[in-house]
Structure formats: structure tokens, C-alpha cells
Amino acid sequence: MFQDVTRAMAPVAVPVASKKALRFYRSGNVLWCVRAVAGLLIPALFLFTGFSARLRSWAERMGSKWYFAFALYWVAFAGLCYLIELPLDYYRGFVRLHSYDLSNQTFGKWFGDSLKSLGVLLAIGLAGGWIPFQLIKRSPRRWWLYLGLLYVPCSCMMLLIWPVMIDPLFNKFQPLQDKVLEAKILTLAARAGIEGGRVYEVNKSVDTKTVNAYVTGFMGSKRIVFWDTALRTLDEGELLAVLGHEMGHYALGHIVQSIALSSVLIFVALYASHRWLGRIPGRYQRRFGIRAWSDFAALPLLVLIVNFLALIFAPAELAFSRHQEHEADRFGLELLHNNHAAATALLKLQQHNLSNPRPGRIYTLWRASHPAIGERIDFCNRYRPWEAGGPARCDEYIRQRPVP
Ligand SMILES: [Zn+2]
């Protein structure tokens, strides 16, 4: 017992990244740059070669009504983009992960998932991709405002249905099978003010050897999901520590905060797009073969603008995400007071996911959704406000103090 207490108080050292982890980190950065350039280059090619206009004319000849012509254009455009990106996606999502021994996926599962993702993208485009062009046509001055107003309920709806309808297309989700663990989780959930039955496990071991857990959904579909790889890799104390972090996202309302931030950024992006479209000289429209901005042949231009603005906004979005992750870490520590388990869970994440515990500044700015694992372990080692007897930051969300 005395040994347990001593162990629980001991700081956890952050090991330096292995050579393999550093190789994974550096090659991942190169790959990220290649994908970012491709995300700008591919729509630009569709636009500048006039191919998008030719595709539109073909779709108009095939589909008699405007929507059917749009639908044909969208399926052809998204399908061609999929084929162009397929070699890079295959390397990134299959070959590379196997070469670093991070994947359990068969080629069949990878390809099946890849086709399903394309199917989901096609369905979303068919359901809503036509709306910007109709809004531009009907309200050339205010389309950006109406589209922004539509974005908010649409993103809530997507979040509501995604864990129930889309995620299960790729993996099997079920309530936690370990009933002893589930009982402990329900007790912890009650202390954090979260109703029971919201914790699931997913068979990610068919895809990956990496370890993770996350919070997803909105209102009725809000849930905490453990990858089965995490259930096998982490001991009970570490699982509860990870759960404490996820409960932090849940209890502190991080999903709603993220929707609010992305809504603000979408408004800015749409307004910027509106201003830019108004300033593009007419000769470019003629060169692209686009009749007006309400012509769906302008879709690659919208994709180009969205991908460009996503790069510009990434540092702000990621900084906010890192802030939320830090607050979720704080919540987990205040809920459980098990700093050692929280730190060793992060250590296992570092080792199993080949993470770099101290990445560079540019990586942090443009790619890091979480604080560096090294910083998170350092925080676990030092954050114990309850020892001084003072109030803790998340007190109002936590119903009972941990039993010492
Ligand atoms: Zn988190």
C-alpha cells in the first residue's frame, strides 16, 4: 500500500524520441507538405486547363435538368480527384503505416474503407454541394451570409448522425465488454455529471496498432469511444485516467465550443470568398470557361479557396484545440488525482503511436491538435493544486472529491 502511494507520486520521465519515431515524424512532415500542395494544385489544374468547363458542358449534355447536370459533374469531379490522389493515399494510409509497423489493416479493408469514404463524400456533395451555386445565383450579394447561417445547423446535424450512421460503416461499435471496468466507469461518469451508457469500444485493432480514445457526437449521439487497442494496452488506472481526460471534453462542452469557433471561421472564409470572387477580372472567367460564379464549373475554385483558407486558419484552430486538450488533461487530473497513471498512459501513447514528445515550433503551429506529449507528461508531474488545499479549476463540474 505504502509502495503504491510512493509510486503514484513519482514523476514520470519523458524519454527522447526513438530514431524510428523521428524518421516517422520527419517523413510525416514532408508528406503533409506534399498533400497541402496537392490540395491547391489539383483544383487549380481543373480550373486553369479549362477541364472543369468541359466537364460541365459534358454534364449539361447528359443531364437535362440543372440538378442532374450538377450531380453528374460532381460525381465525375470527385471521382477524378479520388483517382488522382489514390497513389498518395495508398502510400500514406497503407504502405507507410505498414512499413513503420503501425498497421494491422489488410489491403481489402483499406481499399473498402477508401471506397466507402468516397461514397460518403459523394452523398454529402449530392445532398448539399449544389446549394452555394443556387445561393450565388439568387442572391449575388448576400449568398455568403445565407450559406454561413446554413452551416451552423448543418454541422450540428452532421455531428448528430456521424457516430450513429457513418462511423459504423467502417468499424464495429459496441458497449464496453469488460463489465468490471464498465461499472468503475459509470461511477466515475456520475461524479463528472455524465449519464451512463455513453462509453463505447470500437474494433480499431483490425486497422491499426496505435492507441486512442475520443469524444464525438452531439446531443443524443454524444459519446466517449475507446479503441480496443487502448483497452488492451493500458492498465486499469491508465484507462480511467484517459477516460477522465475524455470526460473533460464532454463535461466542459468542448464540442459545442468547436462548432462555435468553426462557425465564426466559416463566416470569415465565406465573406473573404465573396470579396475575392468579386475582384477576379472577367478575363479569368473566360479563360476558365466559367459563365458566372453561379456556374458549377467554378467548383474547383471554391475547393481551392477552401483549401487555401484551411491552411491560413489552421494555426488558430489548432491553438484552440490544444487549449481544449490542456483543459481536458486538467479536468482528468482533478477528477482522479492519479497523476502517475495519467502520465504513464501518455508515455504508452508516445511509444505505441510513434509520437515525437518534443516536436518543433512549425509542426506545433500547423499540425498539432494536442500539446506535445512531453509537455502533457510534465503537466501531469507538477499539477496538484489539491495538495495546497486551494480550489481547483474544474470544481464546479465535479460532484465529489476522489476517495483518498
Ligand atoms: Zn482530448
pLDDT in tens, 131-179: 999 999 999 999 999 999 999 999 999 999 999 999 999 999 999 999 8
Does 387 have pLDDT greater than 90? no
Does 195 have pLDDT greater than 80? no
Does 188 have pLDDT greater than 90? no
Distance (Å, whole) CA 305 – CA 276: 9
Strands 223-227 and 213-216: what pairing? antiparallel
Give distance in angstroms: CA of 349 to centre of ligand 1: 12
Distance (Å, whole) CA 54 – CA 59: 9
Q: What is the pLDDT of residue 282?
A: 82
Q: What is the pLDDT of residue 167?
A: 95
Compute the average pLDDT of residues 202-225.
90
Give distance in angstroms: CA of 181 to centre of ligand 1: 20
Give distance in angstroms: CA of 323 to centre of ligand 1: 10
- 259 and 155 in contact (C-beta within 8 Å)? yes
Give distance in angstroms: CA of 326 to centre of ligand 1: 8
Q: What is the pLDDT of residue 401?
A: 58
Distance (Å, whole) CA 377 – CA 357: 9
Query: Which tops the pLDDT comparison, 281 or 99?
Result: 99
Does 197 have pLDDT greater than 80? no
323 contact partners, CB below 8 Å, separation of at least 6: none
Give distance in angstroms: CA of 4 to centre of ligand 1: 27
What are the contacts of 153-162 at 24+ separation with CB within 8 A? 154/128, 155/259, 155/262, 155/263, 156/218, 156/219, 156/259, 159/216, 159/217, 159/218, 159/221, 159/255, 159/259, 160/217, 160/218, 160/219, 160/220, 160/221, 161/221, 162/216, 162/217, 162/221
Give distance in angstroms: CA of 211 to centre of ligand 1: 13
- 345 and 2 in contact (C-beta within 8 Å)? no
Give distance in angstroms: CA of 128 to centre of ligand 1: 30
Does 404 have pLDDT greater than 60? no
Give distance in angstroms: CA of 229 to centre of ligand 1: 17
Compute the average pLDDT of residues 41-50.
95
Give distance in angstroms: CA of 341 to centre of ligand 1: 16
Question: What pTM value is reported for the model?
Answer: 0.89
Distance (Å, whole) CA 56 – CA 289: 10
325 part of the active site = no
Compute the average pLDDT of residues 386-404.
70
Catalytic residue among 201, 238, 246, 325: 246
Distance (Å, whole) CA 205 – CA 171: 10
Residue 196 banded pLDDT, cuts 50, 70, 90: low
